[in-house]
Homo-oligomer: A and B are copies of this chain.
Amino acid sequence: MAAWARAVRGLLLDVSGVLYDSGGDGGVPIAGSVEAVRRVKASGLKLRFCTNETQATREKFVKKLQGMGFDISVDEVTAPAPAACRILKERSLRPHLLVHNDLVPEFAEIDKANPNCVVIGDAAENFTYANLNEAFRVLIGMEKPVLISLGRGRYYKETDGLKLDVGAYMKALEYACDVQAEVVGKPAKMFFESALAEMGVPPQQAIMIGDDIVNDVGGAQRCGMRALQVRTGKYRPCDENHPHVKPDAYVNNLAEAVDVILQQL
């Protein structure tokens, strides 16, 4: 942490694994994170939540976080589903959805009859053998299969252990259909850029804080941002030897990140 930290005007925060650990029971806040978000807001820094969360609508997701005590509102959240809806409309794509039941309302206004693409999100329990075969058949039946993936995460941590994320299932469909998915969400450059635009801060003055070495840290750095990795959530010690990505700094958790950043101001 050095000169660049003094130039910071805005923070992008990953949510799962940074603010809280998700899980079947809704999850639990990570110690110090509720207070850390409050301190960022009080500091005058701009703040945006940049998540690949696709297990719920933004409304439901934000309500859950508010229930844990976080100061967060729907219009502060950049998430893949609304970004995907913009793309579907622009390109007149009618999706077959392989997503979590709770995400379906985000696509309420999208025509889904006679699908000409597949949209895959973190469908969790909906990743059944039957549903994967169905999505596969829709794709393989197209002359030029179009697969849109809401993120490309490998796995994430819930309170009862690590779970495969959407990226693993995306790879399965990519391989089966010999197609490359279009990724909406981190680490797609366009996704970070829209979060920055919504915050009104250029990448050189923004810091991303996340637990995912590739999708949070690597993705943000490729956009010209600085990025910190927290040692919470899906962080694993071997991340510190990643062959391609090196965070601008490590911090034990969000609270420590905010301590350090606010000290520089």
Q: Does A245 contact B (CB under 8 A)?
A: no
| Assembly stoichiometry (copies) | 2
Contact check, B124 vs A129: say whether CB atoms are below 8 A apart: yes
Are B161 and A137 in contact (CB-based, < 8 A)? yes
Interface residues in A87-106 (C-beta closer than 8 Å to B):
none
- Of B124, B155, B172, which one neighbours A140 at CB under 8 angstroms? B155
- In the bound complex, what is the Cα–Cα distance between A164 and B162 (angstroms)? 24
> By the criterion CB–CB under 8 Å, are A171 and B175 in contact?
yes
Most buried by B among A133, A154, A175: A175
**How does the 8 Å CB contact mask read for A152-168 relative to B, with 1 for contact and 0 for none?**
00110000011111011
A217 to chain B, nearest CB (A): 16
Q: Does A264 contact B (CB under 8 A)?
A: no
When the two chains form their complex, are residues A168 and B175 in contact, meaning their CB atoms are under 8 A apart? Answer: yes
A176 within 8 A of B: yes
Q: Which residues of B sit under 8 angstroms from A175, Cβ to Cβ? A: 154, 167-168, 171
Task: Determine how close the nearest CB of chain B comes to the CB of A128; give it in whole angstroms.
Answer: 7
- Chain B proximity of A119: nearest CB distance (Å): 18
Complex interface bits, A9-48 against B, C-beta within 8 A gives 1, otherwise 0: 0000000000000000000000000000000000000000
Q: Complex Cα distance A175/B178, Å?
A: 16
What residues of chain B lie closer than 8 Å to A176, measured between beta carbons? 154-155, 164-165, 167-168
Q: Counting CB contacts under 8 A, is A174 at the interface?
A: yes
Q: A205 → chain B, closest Cβ, in Å?
A: 33
Q: A132: which B residues are within 8 A, CB to CB?
A: 127, 164, 168
Q: State the CA gap A152–B115 with chains docked (Å).
A: 28
Query: Of B124, B162, B168, which one neighbours A172 at CB under 8 angstroms?
Result: B168
Say if the beta carbon of A109 comes within 8 Å of chain B.
Answer: no
Interface residues of A in 117-171 (CB under 8 A from B): 124-125, 127-129, 132-133, 136-137, 140, 154-155, 161-165, 167-169, 171
For residue A50, CB closer than 8 A to chain B, the reply is no
Residues on B with beta carbons closer than 8 Å to the beta carbon of A174:
171
- Indicate whether A225 reaches chain B with its CB closer than 8 angstroms: no
A129 to chain B, nearest CB (A): 5
- Using a CB–CB cutoff of 8 Å, the interface residues on chain A facing chain B are 124-125, 127-129, 132-133, 136-137, 140, 154-155, 161-165, 167-169, 171-178
CB<8 Å pairs between A and B, sample of 18: A125-B129, A127-B129, A127-B132, A128-B128, A128-B129, A129-B164, A132-B164, A133-B162, A133-B164, A136-B155, A137-B161, A140-B155, A164-B172, A164-B176, A168-B173, A169-B172, A171-B172, A171-B175
